[in-house]
Structure formats: C-alpha cells, structure tokens
Amino acid sequence: MPKPRLIIDCDPGHDDAIALILAHRHAEVTGITTVSGNAPLDATTANALMVTALLGADTPVHRGAAKPLVGEPAHAAAVHGESGLGGVARIAHQRRAASDDAVGFLLDAADEALWVVAVGPLTNLALALERDPAWGRRLAGISIMGGSTDIGNVTRVAEFNIFADPEAAARVFDCGARLTMCGLNLTRQLRSDDALAERLRRTDSPLAQFAAQSFDDLHDRLEGLTGVREAALHDPCAVLAITHPELMETHPQAVSVELNGDFTRGMTVVDRRPRPPGGNAARPGADVPNVNVAHSIDAQAAMAVVAKALGVENDA
C-alpha cells in the first residue's frame, strides 16, 4: 500500500510537533505550511523548521497567515507557552522557510491524490479557496483537527482552531471538499501520560528525547490548568485519520460553523439527529452531510502507532 501524500498546515504547538513526526513516519509529506495559532507565526514557523531538522527531513516549510480573516490573532500560551513549545530545549539547525507564500504552495500542489491535514486555524486554507473556490475539490480531501460534537476548550462550545478563525473555518466546511473532522469529542480519547514520557526518556534518540521533553512540558502546564498530568493528542488524530483510517469510526453529518452567536461563535454545529433510512430524501430540507465526523478511535492501537513513530520499541 503506497503511503498517502500530504501537506500539513500547522501551528506548532506540542501536539502539532508530534503530528509532524507521525506524518513523516507514515506518509509522504510534500510540504508544511504554517499559520498563526498556538503562538505567533514566527514562532510556529521556527518550531516547524526545528522539527524537520530533528527528523532530518528536507520537507519545505512555507510561512502562511499571521492573523485570521477577521479580527486579531488568538494564541494558546497557557498551554503551549509563548514559544509555542513551552520550555522544550531548542535544537540548533540551519533550516530556513522555503517561502512566505503558503497559500500559493497549497494552490500549486493540489491534485486528486494529495491530502491536506489541517491542525491549526484554517486561515491558509480559506485564503486558498478565496483565490480558487474549486481548490478543495481538487484535493483527495482535507483532514481537520478542529471543532467538537459537544464541548469546546476555549468557550463552552468552541474549540481553539475554529474559534481562532471562524470565518476561515466556515469557508472550508462549506467548500465541497471531502472533509474529515477530528474534533475534541474524538481527540480527548487519545491521551498522553507520564508513563509514555518515561518510555521515551529511556529511548536513546534525539527525537525520543524531544518528545519526552514535549510531553513533560505539556503535562506540567496541563496539571496546572486541569489538575491532571495528561494531554489529549489532538493533532496526531488528524494524521491517523489519513494514515490509519481503520482505527477510527466516522459518520457523515452536516456541520456548520457559527459566526454570530454571542455565546456560540466558533462552534461547529453538528447535525446529530438520526438520519431516516431513506436519507435526506425522506426528510426534505434536512441538512445534507458535508463532513465525515470522527466519533471514536481505537486509542490503544493508535497510541502504539504514535509511540513507535516517536521511537519507543515493543509498543506496537
């Protein structure tokens, strides 16, 4: 089975970094595009470059949007620190961004065998659609870490990647591409803990040591925020949806992004009503499913894939 070919649009971010490593193990990563999100664009781009240096991969990194379509940038320093990778040791390297034109790279790279895995705010993808409304439909599909079928993590109902640029998210969800959504309802089923960090610490490789430090840093912050030394592996789920689809259960559902609600802006409004056997035809005017929404993951098998990709042996 040939490896899927993909571009990752990201805002590293600890979990973005793990997703980049996982993707390089199980896919042909033709490029990385960066966006402002967990941290400002300069930081997310620097972090993406550092991960490619750690991997020894010559994957081009293209800088993208420094702010959302509307309003000012939102960041997640409480979780990811000002640097986007908290206090994780920096690795010296000579990597430089390939361009400042992530959108042009996404447009030029599009073909029917290319997936885009979007694990940050969707600004770059929306700007690509602004220049070519058919862009999404020219791809194999888009796997999104974003949204939720139930609760949010920024507000009661909004998840960070969608909340950070709701107008962009609405444009992507309405673009007609083949979409998979790995929302918080799914990603919180795949959790890292100190046992994983310890197994990585005992693994003699720079990549495993980087991952161990990343989990320690993330767990320290989350312990302060939640009282629990665990982290949902949000972004790796969007990679697994493409590289290991057999580990997930998805359902086609209608999903819209709320833009105007005083309490609900940035919410992914998922139609979870049971669909009559006859499909929508039996209920005229019903919302037509536009997204494959992920609802469950085989967390044990998925964690074994992630751990092995990070260098831990005998975990598969």
Q: Does 146 bind Ca ion (CB under 5 A)?
A: no
Residues 10-39 within binding reach of Ca ion (CB under 5 A): 11, 13, 16
Here the tokens at position 48 are 């993406």
Q: Are 7 and 116 in contact (CB under 8 A)?
A: yes
Work out whether 15 is an interface residue with ligand RIB (CB under 6 A). Answer: yes
Complex with ligand RIB: residue 13 or 31, whichever CB lies closer = 13
**Selected binder of Ca ion within 119, 122, 232, 255 (CB under 5 A):** 119
Does the footprint of ligand RIB cover residue 37 (CB under 6 A)?
yes
Position among 88, 126, 141, 159 found at the interface with ligand RIB (CB under 6 A): 159
Buried b or exposed e, range 62-99, using 16+ CB within 10 angstroms = bbbbbbbbeeebbbbeebbbebbbbebeeeeeebebbe
- Site membership for ligand RIB, residue 153 (CB under 6 A): yes
Sheet holding 28-34, edge to edge: 61-63, 28-34, 5-10, 114-118, 141-145, 179-182, 291-297, 248-253
153 binds, among Ca ion, ligand RIB, none (CB under 5 to 8 A by kind): ligand RIB
Rounded Cα–Cα distance for residues 301 and 227 (Å): 26
- Of 41-49, 154-162, 165-173, 190-198, the window that binds ligand RIB (rule: CB under 6 A) is 154-162
Look at residues 257, 245, 212 and name the one whose alpha carbon lies nearest to residue 89: 212
Residue 38 or residue 292: which is nearer to ligand RIB going by CB?
A: 38
CA distance 238 to 30: 17
- Interacting residues with ligand RIB (CB under 6 A): 11, 13, 15-16, 37-38, 76, 119-120, 145, 153, 159-161, 234-235
